Amino acid sequence: MTKREYYGITCGPVSGYKFIVVWGTMTDALAADEPAKISKAVRPQFPALTGLRGLAAYSILVAHAINFQTIYSPSLTALAYFSMSLFFTLSGFVIHYNYGSDFAANGIGSASKRFLIARFARLYPLYFVGLIVSVSVDPQLPFFHNALIALSCLTLTQTWFNVPGATGDLIGGSWSISTEFFLYLLFIPFAAAIRRITSPIPWLLGLCAMAIVVLLAVSVLRGPIATYLAFIQFSDNPRVSAPPFFWLTYFSPPIRGFEFFGGALAAQFCMTKAEFRGMDRAASLLLSACVGWCVLVIVVLCRIDNSIVQTFLPNFIFAPAIIVILILVCRHDSYLTRLMSSPTMQMAGDISYSVYLLQNLVFLAVAASFAGRAGVAAIPRTILVILIATALGYGVWHLFEAPARSWIRSLPKRIGRKVERSSAKATALGDALDQ
């Protein structure tokens, strides 16, 4: 197979990398969703992004699995921070890449409807089932005693009000889904404007500068901010609400917005610079530098006991490097592109949501083998957790997550067809009566 030109976009296998083009659609395959016919523009798919989502899910699984064994390390915490930063930045990239053109071409009304149905189908069914099971295990949760907290959990707004722990232990990771839901809503009014940007790099630099200024101000004003946030949060239960300052720098949607919109601007850059090419020396050095920066933070910088470093660490410290990595793996045939496009990483990406959301269930299921034991047996126990989480994640994804998503996304079409049939029958009946 040779390279082919579609609307000026060079597509085809480069050094064995399978580069896929879908004619006339922009698919949500990057997020394992069904295609959404929202644009006539050709958009290449980037399988490496699915693999990166798998990397994020399994990195945080490993960090949490080891922490669950009472083995604590700044590097494990930093690995979890990296995973969540990758998740939010990648989410912004995928969302804009798949839906930005729809908002620009068709307007906010019809595009929002398609967008919200697709995202609801992607996230809510598994979350809702997990929530019901999780809160049922612990009847003492404020979910049963505070209507506002229960409402926030049911509407995926718990992190907006600093009650991320109200969903219970089984789906403790669901806080990120709540934060992402906020960012989806925030994306809607800006989507068309971002899609019309012809030079995204200055905007990316401006966003990074704004994030640095905001986080520096947050670090300097730490005391007053923590006091104010403690005053307005829904609960003072430490199992339910995070410490106010940590909520702001780790859980809160506004701070995570810098990563999300950084990813969206990175996607816009790839959409305006669509050619795919081999890896030159400059791009290879830049990719290695960005990967090296993430490793440096995880291994070394996370141990620096400095208020500014510790303010940036839970959120934006990885984001500039991740933004560059996303651009490079989508535009160049790099070693990371090929690795993340491998069948193993593709499967990890497909099941990543189920693996991530249900990881606590695995930890609790094997808690007896973790109790009071650490050290030399930590590695085999962690491997056991990974294997069980993978089996559970695949089963839930195959039997529930993917079918539920497809069913919900097809619901508007099926309802529309029923309405058309009913209307046709009514018309036929009216014609018969007229005769």
Q: Is 237 left (phi over 0), alpha (psi -120 to 50) or beta?
A: beta
Which H or E run contains 20? strand 20-22
Residues of the chain with pLDDT > 90: what percent?
62
Nearest partner of 152 among 267, 250, 31, 251, judged by Cα: 251
Nearest to 393 by CA among 361, 421, 425: 361
CA 350 to the chain's CA centroid = 12
Q: Mean pLDDT, to the nearest integer, of 244-260?
A: 95
For 165-222, write each residue's pLDDT tens digit. Answer: 888 888 888 999 999 999 999 999 999 999 999 999 999 999 999 999 999 999 999 9
Q: Which structure tokens are listed for 255? A: 């701070």
Count Cα neighbours of 71 within 13 Å in the Cβ-side half-sphere.
18
Judge whether 104 and 39 are in contact, CB under 8 Å. no
pLDDT confidence band for 230 (50 / 70 / 90): confident
Burial 114-124, CB ≥16 within 10 A → b, else e? bbeebbbbbbb
The 8 Å CB, 24+ separation contacts for 133-142 are: 133/170, 134/167, 134/168, 134/169, 134/170, 134/171, 135/167, 135/168, 137/168, 137/169, 137/170, 138/168, 138/169, 141/166, 141/168, 141/240, 142/166, 142/235, 142/237, 142/240
Question: What does the mean pLDDT of the chain come to?
Answer: 85
Q: Which domain covers residue 95, as residue numbers?
A: 4-434
What b/e readout covers 379-416, taking b as 16+ CB neighbours within 10 angstroms?
Answer: eebbeebbebbbebbbebbeeebbebbeebbeeeeeee
Which residue is it, tokens 């940590």?
A: 246
Confidence of residue 38 (pLDDT cuts 50, 70, 90): very low
Confidence of residue 23 (pLDDT cuts 50, 70, 90): very low
Per-residue pLDDT at 255: 96
> What are 338's two structure tokens?
């090929």
Q: Flag whether pLDDT at 290 surpasses 60.
A: yes
Three-class secondary structure assignment of 309-371: HHHHCCCCCCHHHHHHHHHHHHHEECHHHHHHCCHHHHHHHHCHHHHHHCHHHHHHHCHHHHC
333 in Cβ contact with 46 (< 8 Å): no
Between CA 160 and CA 179 the distance in angstroms is 7
- Sequence length of the chain is 435
For 78, phi then psi, to 5°, come to -65, -35
pLDDT for res 432: 58
Span 84-103, pLDDT tens digits: 999 999 999 999 999 999 99
CA 277, distance to chain mean position in Å, is 27
Total domains present in the chain: 1
| DSSP 8-state secondary structure symbol assigned to residue 17 | B
Give the model confidence (pLDDT) of 303-341 as tens digits: 999 999 999 999 999 999 999 999 999 989 899 999 999
- pTM of the full structure: 0.86
State the sign of the Cα–Cα–Cα–Cα dihedral 378, 345, 276, 198. negative
Instruction: Name the nearest CA neighbour of 299 among 78, 82, 126.
Output: 78
Average pLDDT over residues 106-131: 95
pLDDT score at 40: 42
